[in-house]
Amino acid sequence: MTTLYVRTFNLKDSLGDEEVLAHWRMMMEKVVPAVKNVQGTRSIKIYSGAGALRAQITLLWEMDDAGVYERGLHDADIRQVLGKMCGDWDLTTASQSFHREVTPELIRALGGG
């Protein structure tokens, strides 16, 4: 069942401009390509609200099913940057959620028919 992983976060206030720039380079050059290579990934996009690419950041990872997320956590390329990536985030304001696509099949399954 198609699943959307949503991660929202702000970067730590303590990061200087060069560190913020390095974070975004890592995200776009390493994290996004690594996630795209995880089998079952449909797309990954990152959006930023206000805050000069420091705040109101939302990562959207569309997957064939929720198991893709688990495969991603075991992927060597993702594991290589995971600590640095999350280390730059203000985890006190971060959140994550999983959303399944509502389809006629899901509705039928819930209705027992």
Q: Taking CA 37 as the corner, what is the angle to CA 27 and CA 97, rounded to the nearest 5 degrees? A: 65
**In which element (H, E) is residue 23 found?**
helix 17-26
The pLDDT of residue 1 is: 87
3-111 CATH choice from 3.30.70.141, 3.40.1550.10, 3.30.70.100, 1.10.10.10: 3.30.70.100
pTM above 0.85, yes or no: yes
What is the tens place of the pLDDT at every residue in 51-92?
Answer: 789 999 999 999 999 999 999 999 999 999 999 999 999 999
Domain ranges of the chain: 3-111
91-111 average pLDDT score: 92
